Amino acid sequence: MSIKTTCPYCGVGCGVIAQPDAARGTVNISGDTTHPSNFGSLCSKGSALGQTLGSDGRLLYPEINGQRVSMDAALTHVAAGFNRIIAEHGPDSVALYVSGQLLTEDYYVANKLMKGFVGTANIDTNSRLCMSSAVAGHKRAFGEDIVPACYEDLELADLIVLVGSNTAWCHPVLFQRIAQAKQQRPEMKIVVVDPRRTMTCDIADLHVPVLSGSDVWLFNGLLAYLHEHGHVANDFIANHTEGVDEALRVARESAGDMKQVAAACGLETERLLEFYRMFADHERVITAFSMGVNQSSAGTDKVNSIINCHLLTGRIGQQGAGPFSITGQPNAMGGREVGGLANMLAAHMDLENTSHRDLVQDFWRSPRMAERGGLKAVELFDAIHDGKVKAVWIMATNPVVSLPDADKVKEALRRCELVVVSDCFAGTDTNALAHVLLPAAGWGEKDGTVTNSERRISRQRAFQQLSGDARPDWWLICEVARRMGFDRSFNYDNAHEIFVEHAALSAWNNDGERAFDIGGLAKISSTEYDDLAPIQWPVPERNHPGTPRLLESGRFYRNNRRARFVPTATRAPAHKVDSEFPWVLNTGRIRDQWHTMTRTGRAPQLGAHLPEPYIDMHAQDALLSAVSDGQLARVETQWGALVARVKTSGEMPRGTIFVPIHWNSAVASDARVGALVNPVVDPVSGEPEFKHTPARVTPFPVNWHGFVLTRTPIEKLDATWWTAIRGAQFMRYEIAGRGRSPGSAWAREAFQANHPDADWVEFSDPACGIFRGALLVEERLEGCVFISPRTDLPSRTWLSNLFAKKRIGNADRASLLNGGPTSAAEDPGPLVCSCFGVGRNTLCKAIAQDGLKTPQEVGRRLKAGTNCGSCLPEIKSLIAGLAK
Ligand SMILES: Nc1nc2c(c(=O)[nH]1)N[C@H]1C(S)=C(S)[C@@H](COP(=O)(O)OP(=O)(O)OC[C@H]3O[C@@H](n4cnc5c(=O)[nH]c(N)nc54)[C@H](O)[C@@H]3O)O[C@H]1N2
Ligand SMILES: Nc1nc2c(c(=O)[nH]1)N[C@H]1C(S)=C(S)[C@@H](COP(=O)(O)OP(=O)(O)OC[C@H]3O[C@@H](n4cnc5c(=O)[nH]c(N)nc54)[C@H](O)[C@@H]3O)O[C@H]1N2
Ligand code: SF4
Ligand SMILES: [Mo]
């Protein structure tokens, strides 16, 4: 059996083929060569999906206050709790907090329940933290949340400007499509606008290392430059836009002359002008942007300052030209279609527009409609904290980790009368605060649709049986709705019935008023739905082929059909650095992990690339903070603190530090970066400023460092600081501590408990604080521990290879006790290629010895980089480094 479905991670929306192997109990995952978003490619995360599918760690049964209950009891409890609180305190006292990882069908019923039946718009989503500035920018400029471009435009463009997007790591398959297009047409230019020199810069002709938060200066300056140098689409502006003069005036006044712009952006004037000239000289320009733009207290203005440059030059809705918001989550776009944000209605209609409200109420036959916008994510959790919202149902998101000022979020949930969480996994930080836990179906069990960054609707199809009592999210929502008394309106038997209702609403009294129209899919049969091929909306008529590009005719969706130049006055990030908090804390993603690691953290293939939380900073800033590469340090802001390992990768500019977002309490003692982030939001979109919080870095002194690799996970770790990651045959714990370093007694207790008769070998030098121990069970390595006062511990990659051996011979025993392989050749070094497990030492050796000059030659020699390609930028940088 082989099932076509869609990857559940990023917004690229790659087609996946899943082939369950019943005999082995595994699922083989490959890229779908017929899917028009990825043509068969998958990145490291997509390739490792098969490793995330077991029932181990799943939330399988409903619980109330920690006790397992029947599904019926749990659903009835939730419905009764919501109804009681609504009766006592009104509809606005309850809320849903949902996610861009729900399927469109789940999202549709969640939104319908709240806005049309409970009668409150208190349903918001983690897309508030992600896309809401892009949505707000699109609505201000175009009148509707429209992404005009498609992936093919990236290949057709002569210039791609990537703004605040680490595409190489966060949208890897799109990055590969861009890299391939550039290889075929080397004259194609790429600019990366990012304070960090990320792996994305690998294919860039120009890196523009702007100061954090200065993008509006950059694009206001560009607008003025384009105007001054005559790159103005006069006819397009006259016929299809309004407000150009005011936008130009504000841009000029607030950004100043080119020198002032360069200074505000922290750039040399020459580099600034080089970028401006490139932009001016290419008709086919795509400006693709993501979180470096959206996640800012000026996020919506950043978006509009970009759109203004495209409107001025008329480069929009054309092949290879336009602003392009790259979405993060697999169904961020679908969530927007159903109106999942607290300030939207459904099918791209507006909550505060009476005729839209009447239209939707009529269609839903709903008893009471929400009449004004609900609370946006950060406000919502503040209202929970203040006791104004008394019941919340959190679905498919982990806000205790992912919201800003996350310790306050934790406290808010502690105070809340009724917290319901539905998740597929047990043990998340948010689950820990739930009164009711509802087990949700996981990726392989779910059935429905998602929409990717290029408006392409693709099917997710189930290829596994439901685990335990887990049920699809739409089912859980409908069952609660029915128990709340809304039986007739939530009486769906399957995802298809919901989808066709959603499609019908998009076409209801539409007449071309709203771009989002998938009326052509409103009458598809259940079989046609099952077979639905990926298609880009709008799909206004039956058998319509879909719409790759929007806004081609210059007709926009505001009342007067014109696009609006939105004046964007510059303003600095909300909080400035000062002597107490001298560094800007920037947060974001790493290549092989997905958000809070509930899924990717289970795949051994993904754990080794960057196994620990870290603080990346400029070497001189590290020196000023009295910390150094490899040592632990504490990052502290006005809101919270964490401890992680310092790294001076060379990617960071002076003045800013970078901490990844993924680590949480389930996998580290103290590394939830959300707790440190300023909760200030953009005034228009409500999106938090995740990329700019003033912070300080101080040493975190410890007396000893160590790590443990063990086949049997350890329940309790006696260490001041720890982090845990899954390896192929073992759990890996990095530990460090104060006081006396652990020795023989500690290690034996931790290890030997499960294997009292096993063979224990150890080396101990108490005077030097060095301890090494290994447990062998029937000559196989069961576990090992290494402790030292310094961080110069043995290679984990070398040791992980010993775990793969059936027998540990005498030479290996000796090397275990010596703390290192007998020959350097046995140490592959830190992992670079996760698909084929190729380490840095192996790569460097082959590159040097065999004179390999291109990643292709490396691939032929070692296979590295030949599957998903996510490590190609790193391989290229190793080749470049060795060529120096
Ligand atoms: N591997 C992986 N991929 C993912 C995800 C994941 O968790 N892991 N998550 C998905 C999701 S939901 C999202 S939203 C996307 C996010 O995808 P991206 O937006 O590409 O990812 P981030 O790492 O959040 O941030 C992007 C870049 O913005 C830069 N930046 C910071 N401040 C500024 C600034 O002021 N101006 C500019 N121009 N740039 C700035 C940062 O240095 C960073 O390199 O990734 C998606 N893909
Ligand atoms: N500091 C900082 N914080 C950030 C960001 C940042 O750049 N910096 N980025 C923000 C952005 S862009 C995003 S998108 C968020 C992401 O943040 P979150 O949404 O909190 O992160 P996830 O780990 O993806 O959480 C998804 C949860 O849903 C569960 N889940 C997965 N599939 C399903 C399903 O089908 N049904 C149900 N019910 N549950 C499911 C997972 O197990 C997991 O617990 O983080 C935001 N937070
Ligand atoms: S690029 Fe990777 S994570 Fe994103 S959809 Fe494709 S395979 Fe999934
Ligand atoms: Mo996101």
- Separation of first and last alpha carbons in the chain: 51
CA–CA dist 253, 631 (Å, integer): 46
* 570 C-alpha to ligand 3 centroid (Å): 35
Say what the pLDDT of residue 211 is.
Answer: 98
* pLDDT above 80: residue 884: no
Q: Please report where in the chains the tokens 């509009």 appear, as a residue.
A: 304
3-state secondary structure of 548: coil
Q: Identify which of 171, 174, 194 to mutate to test ligand 1's pocket (most ligand atoms within 8 A of the CB).
A: 194
Q: Identify which of 107, 124, 129, 403 to mutate to test ligand 2's pocket (most ligand atoms within 8 A of the CB).
A: 129
List, for residues 76-90, the tens digit of each pLDDT value.
999 999 999 999 999
Q: Identify which of 4, 5, 6, 10 to mutate to test ligand 3's pocket (most ligand atoms within 8 A of the CB).
A: 10
Q: How far is CA 91 from CA 122, 415, 480, 643, 654, in A?
A: 9, 19, 16, 41, 49
Q: Chain-centre distance of CA 403, in angstroms?
A: 13
Query: What contacts 580, CB < 8 A, 6 or more positions away?
Result: 694, 696
657 lines ligand 1 (CB under 6 A): no
609 lines ligand 1 (CB under 6 A): no
| Average pLDDT value for residue range 150-156 | 98
Please report which confidence band the pLDDT of residue 823 belongs to, taking 50, 70 and 90 as the band edges: confident
Please report which confidence band the pLDDT of residue 414 belongs to, taking 50, 70 and 90 as the band edges: very high
Percent of the chain with pLDDT over 90: 89
Say what the pLDDT of residue 758 is.
Answer: 85
DSSP per residue over 104-116, as a string?
HHHHHHHHHIIII
What one-character DSSP code corresponds to residue 738?
Answer: S
What are the phi and psi torsion angles at 499 (to 5°)?
A: -60, -45
Q: Identify which of 60, 96, 99 to mutate to test ligand 2's pocket (most ligand atoms within 8 A of the CB).
A: 99
291 lines ligand 2 (CB under 6 A): yes
Q: Ligand 2 atom closest to Cα of 476?
A: 38
CA–CA dist 281, 137 (Å, integer): 26
Q: Ligand 1 atom closest to Cα of 167?
A: 20
Please report which confidence band the pLDDT of residue 752 belongs to, taking 50, 70 and 90 as the band edges: confident
User: pTM score > 0.95 for this model?
Assistant: yes
219 lines ligand 1 (CB under 6 A): no
* 327 C-alpha to ligand 4 centroid (Å): 7
129 lines ligand 2 (CB under 6 A): yes
170 lines ligand 3 (CB under 6 A): no
List, for residues 154-181, the tens digit of each pLDDT value.
999 999 999 999 999 999 999 999 999 9
Instruction: Detail the DSSP E strand segments found in 650-744.
Output: 656-660, 693-699, 704-710, 721-726, 731-737
Q: Identify which of 589, 610, 678 to mutate to test ligand 1's pocket (most ligand atoms within 8 A of the CB).
A: 589
Count of beta carbons in the 10 Å neighbourhood of residue 477: 30
Q: Please report where in the chains the tokens 């054309």 appear, as a residue.
A: 318
Question: What angle in degrees, to the nearest 10, is found between the helix axes of 495-507 and 104-112?
Answer: 70
Q: Ligand 2 atom closest to Cα of 599?
A: 42
Give the containing element (helix H, strand E) for 460. Answer: strand 456-460
Average pLDDT value over all residues in the chain: 96
| Average pLDDT value for residue range 337-366 | 96
Tokens of 629: 């590469």
* 456 C-alpha to ligand 3 centroid (Å): 14
* pLDDT above 80: residue 824: no
Q: Of the bound ligands, which one is closest to the alpha carbon of residue 101?
A: 2
Determine which residue's CA is closest to atom 14 belonging to ligand 2. 130
675 lines ligand 2 (CB under 6 A): no
Picking from 28, 30, 32, 10, the residue whose alpha carbon sits closest to that of residue 19 is 28
Q: Chain-centre distance of CA 352, in angstroms?
A: 30
Q: Identify which of 7, 9, 10, 651 to mutate to test ligand 1's pocket (most ligand atoms within 8 A of the CB).
A: 10
Count of beta carbons in the 10 Å neighbourhood of residue 663: 27
776 lines ligand 2 (CB under 6 A): no
List, for residues 600-641, the tens digit of each pLDDT value.
999 999 999 999 999 999 999 999 999 999 999 999 999 999
Per mean pLDDT, which range of 334-343, 412-421, 430-439, 738-747 is the poorest? 738-747
Say what the pLDDT of residue 751 is.
Answer: 79
Picking from 675, 62, 174, the residue whose alpha carbon sits closest to that of residue 400 is 675
Instruction: Provide the sign of the torsion angle of the four alpha carbons 84, 87, 93, 98, taken in this order.
Output: positive
* 643 C-alpha to ligand 1 centroid (Å): 22
Please report which confidence band the pLDDT of residue 716 belongs to, taking 50, 70 and 90 as the band edges: confident
Picking from 33, 211, 131, 127, the residue whose alpha carbon sits closest to that of residue 654 is 211
Q: Ligand 3 atom closest to Cα of 9?
A: 3
List, for residues 315-351, the tens digit of each pLDDT value.
999 999 999 999 999 999 999 999 999 999 999 999 9
Domains defined for the chain, CATH in brackets: 3-52 (2.20.25.90), 63-130+331-536 (3.40.50.740), 137-325 (3.40.228.10), 583-699 (2.40.40.20), 704-826 (no CATH), 831-883 (1.10.10.1100)
3-state secondary structure of 431: helix
| Residues less than 5 Å from ion ligand 4, measured at CB | 130, 328
CA–CA dist 813, 413 (Å, integer): 50
422 lines ligand 2 (CB under 6 A): yes
What one-character DSSP code corresponds to residue 791?
Answer: S
Picking from 255, 375, 298, the residue whose alpha carbon sits closest to that of residue 133 is 298
Question: Exposed/middle/buried for 860, CB within 10 Å: 0-12, 13-18, 19+?
Answer: exposed
Asked whether 638 and 694 are in contact (CB, 8 A), the reply is yes
Say what the pLDDT of residue 35 is.
Answer: 98
How many contiguous H segments (helices) and E segments (strands) does the chain have? 30, 34
Q: Of the bound ligands, which one is closest to the alpha carbon of residue 659?
A: 2
Please report which confidence band the pLDDT of residue 525 belongs to, taking 50, 70 and 90 as the band edges: very high
457 lines ligand 2 (CB under 6 A): no
List, for residues 6-56, the tens digit of each pLDDT value.
999 999 999 999 999 988 889 999 999 999 999 999 999 999 999 999 988
Please report which confidence band the pLDDT of residue 868 belongs to, taking 50, 70 and 90 as the band edges: confident
456 lines ligand 3 (CB under 6 A): no
Please report which confidence band the pLDDT of residue 749 belongs to, taking 50, 70 and 90 as the band edges: confident
Pairing label, strands 759-765, 770-777: antiparallel
17 lines ligand 3 (CB under 6 A): no
Q: Of the bound ligands, which one is closest to the alpha carbon of residue 177?
A: 3
SS (H, E, C) 614-666: EEEECHHHHHHCCCCCCCEEEEEECCCEEEEEEECCCCCCCCEEEEECCCCCC
* 517 C-alpha to ligand 2 centroid (Å): 28
Per mean pLDDT, which range of 13-22, 552-561, 713-722, 872-881 is the poorest? 713-722
